[in-house]
Chain A
């Protein structure tokens, strides 16, 4: 039997303290991340009829159904369209706003507050209000009419509905990315701009050669957050379009919700969430891997 004094070494004590520090986080991850993840995988191998109270092992049947489901390509297409639209529109607008509001001009504080305020508004309330504004006789079209433009029936045409859900989401969250960009912009050393100016660099060259590389870690962060967030969009679709018209705005999370909670196919719903998990993981890994190519200070 080992001697107690030799077993209880300083290094063992340090390790224990370390484990104690990470324990709450580890326990949380275990309970709320790994356990549900494991359960979802487990459910995806079963057919679970809630009403009939049956739970049967079906092996890879749900995965075979996933491959054969004629709706899946359409759903993935809508998801990709939404994500690309959202990421491009959100990041470029956030960057533009941040650059504009980084100038020493009057009123910038007011505008910063204005663009940030939707971030703290309840998502559902925000979406419901936009739902009224986007009616064919709603506020958006009334505004367009004052400049002589006949607005489309936003939520009732395929393209209009997709543009609407993207727009509603962009204006809701653009403020957050804007603030992150603003903070990054303010960290760029002024001397770099002065030096560039002396070398005769124009505004665009200064932005492309100095600003962008210097804030690229923030661009990476915001793009990872925005891409992952865009794949999880749900409330806007549920409130504004319910996946329609047709299936034009049925994105993966909404389809998953329909299958599991509306159609009671919990097993197949779990299979769809495994697919969502794989897509988010793959995209995040891809972005992380690619960071060396374009993120300054990462080379």
Chain B
């Protein structure tokens, strides 16, 4: 008993000392910068490292710059756990769905010294701003398009789709592919009946949105969303144009006729054994629309090397380096957003594909849904939408249920 008491006493003492630590002091001497990223691709890393090496040549105060790859599945969770554990990186790559949490909480330092910030396309910086200040550099702005397996469509007797095609045509072609080949028709990549925010690439055609622009009102029960989801439900369960829940199909392995995904996935088609095309999203009842996925790089305010990290970020994002990075990550700088400039670094894509999907997409695109407290919202919506993903589901009732569940969270 006495030992237990002593242990409890010691634990209490350690608790008190653990909590006594305040803000970390600014570091002196050459710093080692660490940036968390989610790509583990050797080519991406070698480009980032070469830019870092160039920076170090002229900056003696930075001893090393490390790019720390965290797995994409748990990227944000790992990053916040590192911050909680007192092991925060100096710079972090941030996904669009956690942008409001990072920008709004004050976790990031404002970026005041970017090179030629006026060149950044306004559509790309919107998500990363607060009260007129930019808190992360929109490092990668990647529009969604539709990759088409022309061989599978031909086999199903379908003409190659072209820009300006409609959702009806897309579903008809996808259903034909499924009927003829037994393969999946259209795959909304990364949705898999869980990542529902990817469905923004579908409901955008109906002018629907998950929540209002100010983030206060739920949009799931609105008539345009009900119409879009009714269409999608029928396409899945009646037309069999999309693979049903619990079925996996990889477009890039030739298992599906079409897939909606970001253009940065084009690199997966380097060794494709089938003919393919990339076209803009189909038009819906509300006409043409485009959706973009984004990633920003921010400086963690808590970092003792925050000033040095911000300086490195200015270098990494300057026009020259943006152009280099543009071959993997569509840049936000307007002067780089030309078919000619992007074509140099994206040899797999044709100029008209780049113009229609990338350049037009970035200038008009809406970013995938994001909100403060996104993880909890996403989980709540996911749990409610599970009722929708079965034959005979009541679409209107399920969507009303989504709003009942999330409205109190949005109104906070």
The chain A residues found within 8 Å of chain B, CB to CB, are 26, 29-30, 34-35, 37-39, 42, 48-53, 55, 135-138, 153-157, 242-247, 258, 261-264, 266
**Chain B hits for A263, CB < 8 A:** 373, 375-376, 379
A–B complex contacts, Cβ < 8 Å, 15 sampled? A30-B10, A30-B11, A35-B14, A37-B11, A39-B15, A52-B106, A136-B245, A136-B247, A138-B246, A156-B245, A156-B390, A242-B382, A245-B386, A262-B375, A263-B375
Q: Type the 1/0 row for B375-390, where 1 means its CB is closer than 8 Å to any CB of A.
A: 1100100111011011
Taking CB atoms and an 8 Å cut-off, the chain B residues in 302-340 that contact chain A are 302
B383 touches A35 (CB 8 A): no
B194 touches A246 (CB 8 A): no
B246 touches A155 (CB 8 A): yes
Stretch at the interface among B57-65, B78-86, B110-118, B160-168: B78-86
Residue among B80, B84, B246, B390 with the highest chain A CB neighbour number at 10 A:
B246
B227 in the interface, Cβ–Cβ < 8 Å? no
B272 in the interface, Cβ–Cβ < 8 Å? no
- One of A34, A52, A262 near B7 (C-beta < 8 A): A34
Q: Chain B: which residue is nearest A160 at the CB level?
A: B246
| A180 → B minimal CB distance (Å) | 30
Q: Chain A: which residue is nearest B6 at the CB level?
A: A30
Chain B interface size, as a band, is 35 or more
In the bound assembly, the distance between CA atoms of A49 and B18 in angstroms comes to 17
Given contacts A51-B83, A244-B386, A263-B375, 14 further A-B contacts (CB under 8 A): A29-B7, A37-B11, A39-B18, A51-B106, A135-B247, A136-B245, A138-B246, A156-B245, A156-B386, A258-B376, A262-B376, A264-B80, A264-B101, A266-B84
In the bound assembly, the distance between CA atoms of A137 and B81 in angstroms comes to 37
**Chain B hits for A34, CB < 8 A:** 7-8, 10-11
Taking CB atoms and an 8 Å cut-off, the chain B residues in 1-34 that contact chain A are 3, 7-8, 10-12, 14-15, 18-19
A50 touches B375 (CB 8 A): no
| B33 → A minimal CB distance (Å) | 20
A26 touches B8 (CB 8 A): no
B49 in the interface, Cβ–Cβ < 8 Å? no
- One of B12, B19, B193 near A55 (C-beta < 8 A): B19
| A7 → B minimal CB distance (Å) | 21
Known A261-B80, A262-B379, A264-B80; judge A52-B105 contact (CB<8 A): yes
Taking CB atoms and an 8 Å cut-off, the chain B residues in 234-281 that contact chain A are 244-248
A261 touches B81 (CB 8 A): yes
B81 touches A53 (CB 8 A): no
B77 in the interface, Cβ–Cβ < 8 Å? yes
The chain B residues found within 8 Å of chain A, CB to CB, are 3, 7-8, 10-12, 14-15, 18-19, 77, 80-81, 83-84, 101-102, 105-107, 193-194, 244-248, 302, 373, 375-376, 379, 382-384, 386-387, 389-390
- One of A26, A38, A135, A244 near B15 (C-beta < 8 A): A38
**Chain B hits for A157, CB < 8 A:** 390
Q: Chain B: which residue is nearest A30 at the CB level?
A: B7
**Chain A hits for B107, CB < 8 A:** 51-53
| B374 → A minimal CB distance (Å) | 9
Known A136-B245, A245-B386, A261-B81; judge A26-B375 contact (CB<8 A): no
In the bound assembly, the distance between CA atoms of A35 and B8 in angstroms comes to 8
- One of A35, A53, A264, A266 near B11 (C-beta < 8 A): A35
In the bound assembly, the distance between CA atoms of A51 and B248 in angstroms comes to 36
In the bound assembly, the distance between CA atoms of A49 and B373 in angstroms comes to 12
Q: Chain A: which residue is nearest B107 at the CB level?
A: A51
| A24 → B minimal CB distance (Å) | 14
**Chain B hits for A50, CB < 8 A:** 80, 83-84
**Chain A hits for B245, CB < 8 A:** 136, 153, 156
Q: Chain A: which residue is nearest B11 at the CB level?
A: A38
A137 touches B77 (CB 8 A): no
- One of B3, B105, B248 near A26 (C-beta < 8 A): B3
Known A136-B244, A261-B80; judge A244-B383 contact (CB<8 A): yes
A258 touches B106 (CB 8 A): no
**Chain A hits for B105, CB < 8 A:** 49, 51-52
In the bound assembly, the distance between CA atoms of A135 and B244 in angstroms comes to 11
| A158 → B minimal CB distance (Å) | 9
Q: Chain A: which residue is nearest B7 at the CB level?
A: A34
- One of A137, A242, A258, A262 near B194 (C-beta < 8 A): A242
B11 touches A243 (CB 8 A): no
**Chain B hits for A244, CB < 8 A:** 194, 382-383, 386
B7 touches A243 (CB 8 A): no
**Chain A hits for B376, CB < 8 A:** 258, 262-263
